[in-house]
């Protein structure tokens, strides 16, 4: 397995680079790390399926990119103690640093993705 070093750690070879909006697919993308370095990218998350994880990694210049993670309308993303259905999790342009990432997992429920690892300043959609 090839390992790639980044300021935030090491990636394990299951990464794919995305340069345009992408809809994540549970059956083919589970366990993958999605890397982007463009000004703005939106990942649309699949319906929650327990046992699946996805990592989203920023590899661009500091303060030059935004990552938007958009759950489907009946799911949420639990982060910093709360979750609301159909609200995005966002790596903001002003605070983005190369090596920022977030890992989402469907652990034991089907109402929200759980943030299991994070680096950087991520914000919940208001």
Cα–Cα distance, 57 to 34 (Å, whole number): 6
Q: With cut-offs at 50, 70 and 90, classify the pLDDT of residue 85.
A: confident
The helix, strand and coil proportions of the chain, stated in percent and rounded to the nearest 5, come to 5, 45, 55
**108 or 45, higher pLDDT:** 45
Residue 124 · residue 79 · CB < 8 Å: yes
- 67 beta partners: 41, 91
Structural domains of the chain in order of their starting residue, each with its CATH number: 4-124 (2.60.120)
Token code pair at residue 41 = 């990218």
Instruction: Read off the pLDDT of residues 17-33 as tens digits, 9 standing for 90 and up.
Output: 999 999 999 999 999 99
Phi-psi region of 5 (alpha: psi -120 to 50; beta: other; left: phi over 0): beta
């Amino acid at each position: 397995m090839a390992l790639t070093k980044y300021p935030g750690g090491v990636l394990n070879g299951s990464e794919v680079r995305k340069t345009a909006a992408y809809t994540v697919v549970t059956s083919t993308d589970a366990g993958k790390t999605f890397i982007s370095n463009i000004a703005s990218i939106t990942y649309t998350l699949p319906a929650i399926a327990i046992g699946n994880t996805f990592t989203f990694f920023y590899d661009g210049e500091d303060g030059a990119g935004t990552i938007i993670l958009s759950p489907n309308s009946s799911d949420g993303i639990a982060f910093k103690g709360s979750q609301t259905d159909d609200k995005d999790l966002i790596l903001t342009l002003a605070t983005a640093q190369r090596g920022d990432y977030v890992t989402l997992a469907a652990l034991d429920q089907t109402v929200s993705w759980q943030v299991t690892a994070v680096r950087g300043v991520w914000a919940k959609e208001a």
